Amino acid sequence: MNKGRLEAFSDGVLAIVITIMVLELKVPDGAEFAALLPLLPILGGYALSFVYVAIYWNNHHHLLSLASRITPGVMWANMHFLFWLTLTPFVTEWMGRQSFQSAPIMAYGGIFFMSAVAYKILQQQISVTTIHPETFKKAFQRDVKGILSPVLYVAAIVIALFAPVVSYGLYALVALMWIIPDRRLVAVFEANHEEKTHSH
Amino acid sequence: MNKGRLEAFSDGVLAIVITIMVLELKVPDGAEFAALLPLLPILGGYALSFVYVAIYWNNHHHLLSLASRITPGVMWANMHFLFWLTLTPFVTEWMGRQSFQSAPIMAYGGIFFMSAVAYKILQQQISVTTIHPETFKKAFQRDVKGILSPVLYVAAIVIALFAPVVSYGLYALVALMWIIPDRRLVAVFEANHEEKTHSH
Amino acid sequence: MNKGRLEAFSDGVLAIVITIMVLELKVPDGAEFAALLPLLPILGGYALSFVYVAIYWNNHHHLLSLASRITPGVMWANMHFLFWLTLTPFVTEWMGRQSFQSAPIMAYGGIFFMSAVAYKILQQQISVTTIHPETFKKAFQRDVKGILSPVLYVAAIVIALFAPVVSYGLYALVALMWIIPDRRLVAVFEANHEEKTHSH
Amino acid sequence: MNKGRLEAFSDGVLAIVITIMVLELKVPDGAEFAALLPLLPILGGYALSFVYVAIYWNNHHHLLSLASRITPGVMWANMHFLFWLTLTPFVTEWMGRQSFQSAPIMAYGGIFFMSAVAYKILQQQISVTTIHPETFKKAFQRDVKGILSPVLYVAAIVIALFAPVVSYGLYALVALMWIIPDRRLVAVFEANHEEKTHSH
């Protein structure tokens, strides 16, 4: 299987997921700015989910650059990963509409927990078949963020029972942790990229 | 006609089909987990349809890798195939909303029966023009799954008159049959791929 | 400007247009096949529009294969063409929902008339800059379909005042005229393709 | 990071934004042309937003052709830019539905002001890493349009408090200013393109 087409399909799904979320923002009936107020929590959730999908797109891109062959295992691990991400618009809208109550906040964290697990499975499937095992090892041996994220999601889900707003803050924190570029990782990927360019 | 653009267009349509199905999951009014219960059959249908479209995307990819020229026949057979798949979100939602009653379950099977027929026509159109007739023959001479699937769809449609849940199980069985990678087919495609790589 | 990116963007828009039309098919409340009956005219309109967009995608592909440079004129002519096509889902739904009454049938023809005009403008913009003027001339010198189509649309729009069903038949006829491959055109494009391949 | 995949993702998002706006045009209940009258302001807003997104797609394409490396800064500046553009369908629908009253017209300008700021940030991020600093400098040293646009947006937002229709006219004027091709810029990009082609 051709890697380019798997990437193109994944890009398509992620581009649609990130864009159709805006359909949740139902246009208000009033013509005053006050009519937008009830939409603010939905907009806040939208912004957070946008950042999450952007982070996943970015990580997915780096991960697939290390994939050498698209085995059936990689293909299905990728589809499984996309499945959980397509549920993002649903939980984002539920969370926003119900003004950050316990159940929706927990469901939101649940979907991102499942996405993180699915991403780990994809990572494992690719690690088996890569022809760059050295780069792969260097990139993921101390996968602090990859391990910390699901732990923080579970923490946020439990906390949501008592203080949903704290959970939302935790979700934002995880996003922030991923946005800050990882100097070590960037170095590993650039070294790999240069190596490939030189060997051409 | 350029094969790359036909693939890109098909990927686009399949990515949209697989993603807009999630718009069927209307966010509930309540803020409790109980409010999600009525959505479970829709979610179940969504997951099954997601797997079906993923399987078709995968198979479509392999099939087109054997196409040498995009004749008008291949172009229109491909469009005909995409047409039936775009009806997937509609029958998925109907089936989910009507909690697996006879008519929607039959319509669901009907769409996948037509997709299977359309896929067979596409296969036939490509077989006529391929410059890899050997690989094509090896890949599809004992096309057990390709023949069994429409037969099982018809069986499921008839059974739906009496026991719709059994039909749903049959649809899931067909999906499972396709997910399990076909060692023989994988071997044929890898041999073909290596042959192409070596001849470069 | 890079031709590939213009094609990718156009493919994206056309793939979305062809797929979101299915969102018009609102799932019925009933669980019987009879509940689908009121949807039949909408489904009929959907099938026709699907064929129309598929034809335009096909023609657009051939036309752009002759474009040498993407000038601002070609870029904006292409956007203008896409603009009219994005209105297809709207007129398709209106026509289907109002069971083929005069005004919606006329609006439907109007959008395809404007698309045909926009396509002609794009063709003209590309003809000015192509480095294959010979192929271009051969392909479009006797552009019977390209001239007949807008004439038939206008006829259908006038006829819709008295007999909307006849107009619908005319629209289907135009589509049929385009589906039947044009031996002369196919020959011209294949000759051009072979020439390009040989000169590599 | 691969530039091609960033462009493909951006193209996908922009293609979806430009196409889902048409979902705002809710099909009227009547079958007469008069039933379309209330939709005219929405259609007007749709046409204007279509042109805006088309302009941004065009400019984005030229800008990225000068990007040498996709640093994390470029990646996130691009996502930030896409975020504001995904809100276009929302403000377009609000403006159209409320028949050009003050608040929606101001919100519309606000989104395009933020898009323009985000575009400037992206431009700055790319300028830092480009290996074509000469071309970049030539292309953007007298960035009259890029500076005038946000100024005109702010003016339109203030004017909307008193005369919203004038603001709408100003938005249309900015769009017109961008459609007219910039001879100087086109020359710079063509020179750059030829230089690249010759050095191959």
Instruction: Output the CA angle A167-A61-B25, nearest 5 degrees.
Output: 50
Number of domains in chain D: 1
Q: What is the tens place of the pLDDT at every residue in D56-91?
A: 999 998 888 888 888 889 999 999 999 999 999 999
Q: What is the tens place of the pLDDT at every residue in B126-154?
A: 988 877 788 777 777 777 888 889 999 99
Pair C146, C87: CB distance under 8 Å: no
Pair A123, A133: CB distance under 8 Å: no
Mutate which of D7, D9, D57 to disrupt the A interface (most A C-beta within 10 Å)?
D9
Q: How many helices (H) and strands (E) does chain D have?
A: 9, 0
Distances (CA, A) of C2 to A23, C55, D62, D185: 31, 24, 9, 16
Candidates B36, D111, B38, D93; CA nearest to A95 is B36
Across the interface, do D23 and C94 touch by the CB < 8 Å criterion? no
Mutate which of C1, C26, C95, C97 to disrupt the D interface (most D C-beta within 10 Å)?
C1
Question: Which structural domain range is residue A9 located in?
Answer: 3-198
Q: Which residues contact D151 (CB under 8 A, 6 or more apart)?
A: none
Interface confidence, given as ipTM, is: 0.89
Task: Please state at what angle helix B72-86 crosses helix B3-20, rounded to 10 degrees.
Answer: 10
Q: Distance (Å) from the C-alpha of residue C61 to the closest C-alpha of chain B?
A: 8
Please give the model's pTM, rounded to 2 decimal places: 0.91
Q: What is the tens place of the pLDDT at every residue in B4-62?
A: 889 989 999 999 999 998 888 888 888 899 999 988 888 999 999 999 999 999 989 88
Q: Where are the alpha helices (DSSP H) in chain C?
A: 3-20, 40-65, 72-86, 88-97, 102-129, 133-140, 144-159, 164-179, 183-198
One digit per residue, the tens of pLDDT, for chain A of length 200 reads 678 889 989 999 999 999 998 888 888 888 899 999 988 888 999 999 999 999 999 999 888 888 888 888 999 999 999 999 999 999 999 998 888 799 999 999 999 999 999 999 999 999 888 777 887 777 777 778 888 899 999 999 999 999 999 999 999 999 998 887 666 666 666 666 665 555 44
Q: Measured between CB atoms, which of B19, B25, B28 is closest to A13? A: B19
Q: What is the tens place of the pLDDT at every residue in C1-57?
A: 678 889 989 999 999 999 998 888 888 888 899 999 988 888 999 999 999 999 999
Across the interface, do B54 and A13 touch by the CB < 8 Å criterion? no
Instruction: Output the CA angle D80-A12-A78, nearest 5 degrees.
Output: 105
Question: Is the model's pLDDT at D200 over the cut of 50?
Answer: no
| D175 part of a folded domain | yes
Task: Please state at what angle helix B102-129 crosses helix B88-97, rounded to 10 degrees.
Answer: 160
- Cα separation, A73 vs A82, in Å, equals 14
Q: Measured between CB atoms, which of B8, B75, B102 is closest to C58? A: B75
Find the residue in A nearest to D1 (Cα): A62
- Cα separation, C156 vs C127, in Å, equals 30
Q: Measured between CB atoms, which of C15, C23, C65 is closest to B13? A: C15
Pair B56, B119: CB distance under 8 Å: yes
- Cα separation, C151 vs C113, in Å, equals 9
Q: What is the tens place of the pLDDT at every residue in B64-96?
A: 888 888 888 999 999 999 999 999 999 999 998
Q: Measured between CB atoms, which of A17, A94, A106 is closest to B27? A: A94
| B35 part of a folded domain | no
Across the interface, do C83 and D20 touch by the CB < 8 Å criterion? no
Mutate which of D19, D43, D55 to disrupt the C interface (most C C-beta within 10 Å)?
D19
Across the interface, do C101 and D61 touch by the CB < 8 Å criterion? no
Could you give the dihedral angle defined by the CA atoms of residues C82, C87, C88 and C89, in that order, rounded to the nearest 10 degrees? 120
N- to C-terminal Cα separation, chain A = 23
| D2 part of a folded domain | no
| B30 part of a folded domain | no
Pair A136, A130: CB distance under 8 Å: yes
Across the interface, do B75 and C65 touch by the CB < 8 Å criterion? no
Find the residue in A nearest to D78 (Cα): A54
| Phi, then psi, of D26 in degrees rounded to 5 | -70, 130
Instruction: Output the CA angle C32-C36-C37, nearest 5 degrees.
Output: 115
Pair C125, C74: CB distance under 8 Å: yes
At which residue do the structure tokens 């056309």 appear? C14
- Cα separation, B40 vs A68, in Å, equals 38
